[in-house]
Chain A
Amino acid sequence: GENVEQHPSTLSVQEGDSAVIKCTYSDSASNYFPWYKQELGKGPQLIIDIRSNVGEKKDQRIAVTLNKTAKHFSLHITETQPEDSAVYFCAAPRGGGFKTIFGAGTRLFVKA
């Protein structure tokens, strides 16, 4: 089957704290795992991604980790800032095709 589950659906943190969002996928042939940030009235923006041959990738305050055995990957945001408040989506391509399956999203609130 093809499914990407994301949790939590809502996350509220204090400015400066860390935030972690988790996703699981079902297609073992998936080999690319992006994370998108969507602000109100805008399209999703790619913020970080990881390919299946790597376990972790970091870009300044954001990082993504991948566990292929367990079929899950996570987004980590450290030192959160109010401008990190947005909806975050994970995604995974369906193996053998061009379709990308998105999670349902996590609404992150960073309180100043």
Chain B
Amino acid sequence: DTGVSQDPRHKITKRGQNVTFRCDPISEHNRLYWYRQTLGQGPEFLTYFQNEAQLEKSRLLSDRFSAERPKGSFSTLEIQRTEQGDSAMYLCASSFTGYEQYFGPGTRLTVT
């Protein structure tokens, strides 16, 4: 399967801990997106990379959140000092054209 992969699929952490998620896009896709999805809602845009450049960040991405895509391939999303309100599904998507986005299975974060 050459789709978008995300790791881990589930993460349980205590409030105040740092967590890091990884996304591996479809290999020829130079565009990569991170979203957050809470129960009963649609995905909310967090940030966008084109190659290694982070070109747009949502105001949802507070200073506790940081994303990187160092070599223009995989990306990481780190949340520092997690809060209970960070509990959500974190989705990654990639695209070749900038139109069609292909999503990974997501990482479900639970902050206790």
A contacts, CB < 8 Å to B = 4, 6, 32, 34, 36, 41-46, 49, 51, 89, 91, 97-105
Contacts of B91 in A (CB 8 A): 43-44
Q: What are the residues of chain B within 8 A of A34 when measuring CB–CB?
A: 99-101
CB neighbours (8 Å) of B102 from chain A are: 46
> Does A100 contact B33, Cβ atoms closer than 8 Å?
yes
CB-CB nearest in chain A for B56: A98
CB of A106 to closest CB in B, whole Å: 10
**Contact between B41 and A100, CB atoms less than 8 A apart:** no
Q: Is the C-beta of B40 less than 8 angstroms from some C-beta in chain A?
A: yes
> Residues of B at under 8 Å CB distance from A?
4, 31, 33, 40-45, 48, 50, 55-56, 58, 91, 93, 98-106
Interface centre among A32, A46, A97 (most CB of B within 10 A): A46
- Which residue of B is nearest A99, CB measured? B45
Contact B40 A97 (CB under 8 A): no
Query: Is the beta-carbon distance between A46 and B43 smaller than 8 angstroms?
Result: no
Question: What are 6 pairs between A and B in contact, CB < 8 Å?
Answer: A43-B103, A89-B42, A98-B55, A102-B43, A104-B42, A105-B40
Residues of B contacting A97 in the complex (Cβ-Cβ under 8 angstroms):
56
User: In the complex, what's the smallest C-beta–C-beta distance from A32 to chain B, in angstroms?
Assistant: 5
The reply to whether B105 and A43 form a contact with Cβ atoms under 8 Å apart is yes
Inter-subunit contact B42/A42 (CB<8 Å): no
Report Cα–Cα, A37/B71, bound state, in Å.
31
Residue in A42, A97, A98 with the greatest tally of chain B CB atoms within 10 Å: A98
With A44-B91, A105-B40 as contacts: A99 and B48 at CB distance below 8 Å: yes
In the complex the two chains form, is A100's CB within 8 Å of B101's CB? yes
B13 shortest CB reach to chain A, Å: 20
